[in-house]
Structure 1
Amino acid sequence: MRPQFVDKQWEQGKRMAIYGLAFLIMTLLILYSSNSTADLYSPFRDSHDVHRTVHNTNLKKWAGKDGYVPVYGNKSMNLRCRQCALVTSSSHVLGTRAGDEIDRNECVIRMNDAPTSGYESDVGNRTSVRVVAHSSVFRVVRKPAEFLNRSENAAVIFWGPASKIGRAAKGTLYRLIQRVSMTYSNLSFFIISPNKMQKFDKLFQKETGRDRKKSQSWLSTGWFTMVIAIEMCDNVKIYGMVPPNHCGRLPQPKRMPYHYYKPRGPDECLTYLQNERGRRGSHHRFITEKQVFARWAKLYNITYAYPTW
């Protein structure tokens, strides 16, 4: 009978060893997953991070109307609003039925070639200001019925390097913008001046502690639009922007198109994470920018909807 007792002890010990090994493996996997996830959504780091210093900027004092150069005529960028809606291009706005609420705001701000036609119930119909990157100029002017004919007395602000859209360069993009501004005299067209563009770069460095060029970063249209909204609005409600830690949450967020009007486009979180960690070439630092936006919300009467922060 003794050998049978020994066999039972051996079997029991073997089972305990297997359970212990399984527990150890699961623990390591959880720790690895947690560390990897945290690393993914934390702001990007580079070789200069050891000496990184962040300074808050008073954007109300930083703002200046002289940085917006009229493309045609002598118009000035002097729009002031008590309550603004900033509508992002995120697919998080779909299904919100927030269109009427957005249109009730004194001013409505949109970005690039984000349309309203077909999406009115979720994003509204009015546009007071549209901020357009140099890379989106062709997409905007190619559909004047959508982006230029639907808005009365709206302002269109173009941003980009002076070599692309600067008056002195007189390149293809500038001539196109100039021709459009002469055709649609009911709208006001502005280009952010080279000096103002440099101020935006310096603002990024002050708020993040990182030199934009050395860190191979490219400011997003969202960065310019957020600053412009703070300049012109007393209160800003932002629709569709996710918080900086959104893509690192567990369980992982469901896949969402990066743009609400491109259902087959790239996944939002994948786009954010690839840009945040990109090292070859220049990349948008979406998550780092959102870290700054979270701080600004406490200073400039900014609230977030769909999702709320």
Structure 2
Amino acid sequence: MGLRISGKGQQSHRMVIFFAVFILTTLLILYGSNNTSDGVYIPFHVAISHAVKTADLRKLAGRDGYLPVFGNKSMNLHCRNCALVTSSSHVLGSRAGDEIDRTECVIRMNDAPTSGYETDVGNRTTLRVVAHSSVFRVMRRPNEYMRRTDYNSTIIFWGPPNKIWKDAKGTLFRLIQRIGMTYSNLSFFSISPNKMRKFDNLFSRETGRDRQKSHSWLSTGWFTMVIAIEICDNIKVYGMVPPNYCGRKPGSKKMPYHYYKPRESDECTTYLQNENNRRGHHHRFITEKQVFARWAKLYNITFTSPKWGDTSCTAEKQTSTAD
């Protein structure tokens, strides 16, 4: 009789353990499922437990990393003061055009035009940074992008080496080379494969995440900011929102992603969708702005339209937003 009771006790004990393990496993599966399907993508810096080692970007600057598209020109642009004009619709209504045009060097991105927007974005262009995906759009309007520039203006193309590097010899490279031959008054450069790797490594070092493994695409804004730091002593950025601007959900006021495409999707919606998406490759705009906030005091960067607050507190604010 005692043995039978002991056996039942052991059986009950096993059942308790079984159900405990079952419940714990179920909870872990549900938790993991929620995190992978529709959980909020926490900006990269939040996941970093170690101190971030910010590199000296000006020491990383290498003229050999910018290869002439045609001829033997060298990339030797240097400016005391730069206006970095973003493509954001936040520049509209700023009436900053005159101030921008008075700046020694004016930097623009991709196919952002000046025609019709001079009051807000100015008219001059000293440097334009163009992604491989925007080359054809830029080429379709040569009067806008090739002639409405400063004398001896510079255009830098970036993209995968197998698309823009001379060894690729594809349609895109031939088009870029033809541009360099046609507009000899401008200086055209492409970023070398070695320097492209440096941009990737910089992202990993500043965020603690490998770009490729985290399924991230670097934005033209990332390339432009790093290049601006390399060539400018002081940078004033027009139209870039701070990293905590959009919060968890898009605000009530809709702002087109580009100032020259009024029917385009809302900027905050675009930022949050890219930041939160874990499938496929996406730009991590908010994460990049976290890094820019860290760089602001190191490299004399200020932001306007909208004006940023204390950049030293930005990461802390974003952390509380993401929690």
Q: TM-score, normalised by structure 1?
A: 0.84
CA distance in 2, matches of 1:105, 1:112: 20
CA distance in 2, matches of 1:176, 1:100: 34
Q: Is the 8 A contact 1:155 1:189 kept in 2?
A: yes
Q: Which residue of 1 aligns with 2:100?
A: 102
Residues 257-303 of structure 1: CA deviation (Å, up to 9, x unaligned):
00000000011000000100112211000000000000000100000
Q: Which residue of 1 aligns with 2:148?
A: 150
Q: Is the 8 A contact 2:275 2:284 kept in 1?
A: yes
Q: Which residue of 2 aligns with 1:302?
A: 301
CA distance in 2, matches of 1:235, 1:53: 26
Q: Is the 8 A contact 2:54 2:206 kept in 1?
A: yes
Q: Which residue of 2 aligns with 1:78?
A: 76
Q: Which residue of 2 aligns with 1:257?
A: 256
Q: Secondary structure at the match of 2:298?
A: coil
Q: Which residue of 1 aligns with 2:167?
A: 168
Structure 2 CA distance for partners of 1:216 and 1:80, relative to 1, 3 Å: same
Q: Is the 8 A contact 2:45 2:287 kept in 1?
A: no
Q: Secondary structure at the match of 1:200?
A: helix
The residue type paired with residue 158 of structure 1 is F
Q: CA deviation at 1:54?
A: 2.6
Q: Secondary structure at the match of 2:242?
A: coil
Q: Which residue of 1 aligns with 2:281?
A: 282
Q: How many residues align?
A: 269
CA distance in 2, matches of 1:50, 1:185: 47
Residues 117-176 of structure 1: CA deviation (Å, up to 9, x unaligned):
000000000000000000000000110000001113110000000111110011110000
Q: Which residue of 1 aligns with 2:124?
A: 126
CA distance in 1, matches of 2:202, 2:121: 30
CA distance in 1, matches of 2:277, 2:205: 21
Q: Secondary structure at the match of 2:282?
A: coil
Q: Which residue of 1 aligns with 2:270?
A: 271
The residue type paired with residue 197 of structure 2 is Q
Q: Which residue of 2 aligns with 1:13?
A: none
1:178 aligns with 2:177: yes
Give runs of aligned pairs for residues 104-253 of structure 1, distance below 5 A: 104-151=102-149, 152-248=151-247, 252-253=251-252
CA distance in 1, matches of 2:139, 2:249: 41
Percent sequence identity over matched residues?
A: 74
Q: CA deviation at 1:63?
A: 1.1
Q: Which residue of 1 aligns with 2:26?
A: none
Cα RMSD (Å) of the superposition?
A: 1.8
The residue type paired with residue 299 of structure 2 is Y
Q: Which residue of 2 aligns with 1:56?
A: 54
Structure 2 CA distance for partners of 1:214 and 1:119, relative to 1, 3 Å: same
Q: CA deviation at 1:252?
A: 2.7
Residues 9-41 of structure 1: CA deviation (Å, up to 9, x unaligned):
xxxxxxxxxxxxxxxxxxxxxxxxxxxxxx858
CA distance in 2, matches of 1:226, 1:41: 24
Q: Secondary structure at the match of 2:155?
A: strand
Residues 75-97 of structure 1: CA deviation (Å, up to 9, x unaligned):
11101100000000000000111
CA distance in 2, matches of 1:137, 1:96: 28
Q: Is the 8 A contact 2:41 2:276 kept in 1?
A: no
Q: Secondary structure at the match of 1:258?
A: coil
CA distance in 1, matches of 2:62, 2:93: 37
Q: Is the 8 A contact 1:44 1:276 kept in 2?
A: no
The residue type paired with residue 255 of structure 1 is K
Q: Secondary structure at the match of 1:214?
A: coil
The residue type paired with residue 245 of structure 1 is N
Q: TM-score, normalised by structure 2?
A: 0.80
The residue type paired with residue 43 of structure 2 is P
Q: Secondary structure at the match of 2:224?
A: helix
The residue type paired with residue 199 of structure 1 is K
Q: Secondary structure at the match of 1:246?
A: coil
Q: Is the 8 A contact 1:40 1:248 kept in 2?
A: no
Residues 33-55 of structure 1: CA deviation (Å, up to 9, x unaligned):
xxxxxx85851589xx4766632
Q: Is the 8 A contact 1:59 1:230 kept in 2?
A: yes
Gaps of 5+ in 1: 1-38
The residue type paired with residue 216 of structure 2 is S
Q: Is the 8 A contact 2:67 2:191 kept in 1?
A: yes
